[in-house]
Amino acid sequence: MDQNSPEVMTAIQAAIKASALCEKIRMDLAGGESLLKSDRSPVTIADYGSQAMICKLIKERFPNDTIVAEEDSKELRRPGRSKILERVTDYINAFIPDSSSEEVCSWIDFGSNSVSGRFWALDPIDGTKGFLRGDQYAIALALIEKGRVKLGILACPNLYADIHHPFGEKGCLFLALKGNGSFQMDRWGVNKGPIFVSKVTNPSEAVITESVEPDHADHLTHQRLARKLNISKPFLRMDSQAKYGILARGEVTLYLRVPSSAEPGYKENIWDHAAGSIIAEEAGGRVTDVMGRPLDFSSGIKMEKNHGILVSNGILHEVVLKALKM
């Protein structure tokens, strides 16, 4: 698969459109409407809208492909939810004029929850809590063939594009193609440049990223590991798979995700890691679970064979795995 493949063009277009939709919703809600937090519906609006637009585009171009995605329209179709469905439809109409609510529901339902030989994995909004807080979130889309990720795209609409100007222009896209490298683009999908992981060889110089949400990873264990490895640089906490993007562009060295003690048996969803993992790997990084096992994208929507996640610049991977076992 090269950069001009129809799959790549479709993925980029879908990610750009969904980002624009999510940002529009986020801006409209920026006035601090309390409705936001009470019933989470604004998030639902963005989730549903993003999934509808992306699934519609993929199905038009690749009618035989399966899309494994987080949402379905069951909840939206309930009579009590008609206001929410109306809002989703209104937002979609700004991008796809004359769309009906029925069509929107049917596009959302292109998503299924069974994996096959070739399928797309979609998280229409990864990092929902970041989206609500006005922090980081990502639209994550990957193409998986025979259990291997072939293409991954992450749209990070609220992430600074230039690591030297964290308060500068926001919004970027990360793209990776198996065997062809990782790239960062601006939010319009242009100015594409290759990205590479950091070359740090001494663990003490590493910078760690982890989830903002304490329930999503074991922050205490991460701190213990940092002490073991003499890592003293401050952690960079970030929501969503944007963490994979900042590791791929060399901004941080390690992404730790030891399962939280609140939910030690938690199994990760494939759409939370498929796109991010290929972006880190194709930039020169390594991605395994915390036991050193490869990520399992072939068993189902849950990564049943894995426990936690470890992403590194490759060079430090074994050292960290060893320290995790001690």
What's 81's DSSP letter? G
Using CB under 5 A as the binding rule, whether residue 239 contacts Mg ion is answered as no
Give the distance from CA 222 to its chain's centroid. 21
Q: Torsion over CA of 75, 81, 82 and 83, rounded to 10 degrees?
A: -130
Answer for which of 260, 288, 312, 313 binds ligand AMP (CB under 6 A) is 260
Report how far residue 152's alpha carbon sits from residue 123's, in angstroms, rounded to the nearest whole number.
Answer: 12
Using CB under 6 A as the binding rule, whether residue 318 contacts ligand AMP is answered as no
Q: Is 128 a catalytic site residue?
A: yes
Using CB under 6 A as the binding rule, whether residue 47 contacts ligand AMP is answered as no
- The answer to whether residues 279 and 174 touch, using CB atoms and an 8 Å cutoff, is yes
Please identify, among the stretches 36-44, 60-68, 126-134, 295-303, the one whose residues bind ligand AMP according to the rule CB under 6 A: 126-134
Report how far residue 43's alpha carbon sits from residue 97's, in angstroms, rounded to the nearest whole number.
Answer: 22
Report how far residue 251's alpha carbon sits from residue 249's, in angstroms, rounded to the nearest whole number.
Answer: 6
Q: Which helix (H) or strand (E) holds 221?
A: helix 219-228
Using CB under 6 A as the binding rule, whether residue 263 contacts ligand AMP is answered as yes
Closest residue by beta carbon to Mg ion: 126
Using CB under 6 A as the binding rule, whether residue 245 contacts ligand AMP is answered as no
CB of 272 to ligand AMP, least distance (A): 5
Answer for which of 272, 281, 282, 289 binds Mg ion (CB under 5 A) is 272
**Ordered DSSP codes for 132-199:** HHTS--EEEEEEEETTEEEEEEEEEEEEES-TT-TTS-EEEEEEEETTTEEEEEETTS-S-EE-----
Answer for which of 216, 219, 273, 286 binds ligand AMP (CB under 6 A) is 216
List the catalytic residue out of 44, 47, 66, 89. 47
Please identify, among the stretches 105-113, 143-151, 194-202, 208-216, the one whose residues bind ligand AMP according to the rule CB under 6 A: 208-216
Report how far residue 47's alpha carbon sits from residue 62's, in angstroms, rounded to the nearest whole number.
Answer: 22
Q: Which of the residues 271 through 290 are near ligand AMP (CB under 6 A)?
A: 272
Using CB under 5 A as the binding rule, whether residue 71 contacts Mg ion is answered as no
# residues contacting ligand AMP (CB under 6 A): 14
CB of 286 to ligand AMP, least distance (A): 18
Using CB under 6 A as the binding rule, whether residue 71 contacts ligand AMP is answered as no
Using CB under 6 A as the binding rule, whether residue 60 contacts ligand AMP is answered as no
CB of 140 to ligand AMP, least distance (A): 9
# residues contacting Mg ion (CB under 5 A): 3
Contact mark string toward Mg ion, 105..144, x via CB under 5 A: ------------------x--x------------------
Report how far residue 115's alpha carbon sits from residue 286's, in angstroms, rounded to the nearest whole number.
Answer: 24
Report how far residue 260's alpha carbon sits from residue 253's, in angstroms, rounded to the nearest whole number.
Answer: 21
Q: Is 47 a catalytic site residue?
A: yes
Could you give phi then psi for residue 85, rounded to 5 degrees? -60, -40
Give the distance from CA 228 to its chain's centroid. 30
Instruction: Using alpha carbons only, give the angle 182, 212, 252 rounded to the nearest 5 degrees.
Output: 35
CB of 72 to ligand AMP, least distance (A): 16
Residue with tokens 């490759």: 314
Answer for which of 109, 239, 251, 282 binds ligand AMP (CB under 6 A) is 239
Report how far residue 238's alpha carbon sits from residue 288's, in angstroms, rounded to the nearest whole number.
Answer: 20
**Positions that interact with Mg ion (CB under 5 A):** 123, 126, 272
Binding site for ligand AMP (CB under 6 A): 126-127, 130, 211, 213, 215-216, 239-240, 260, 263, 266, 269, 272
Catalytic residues: 47, 128
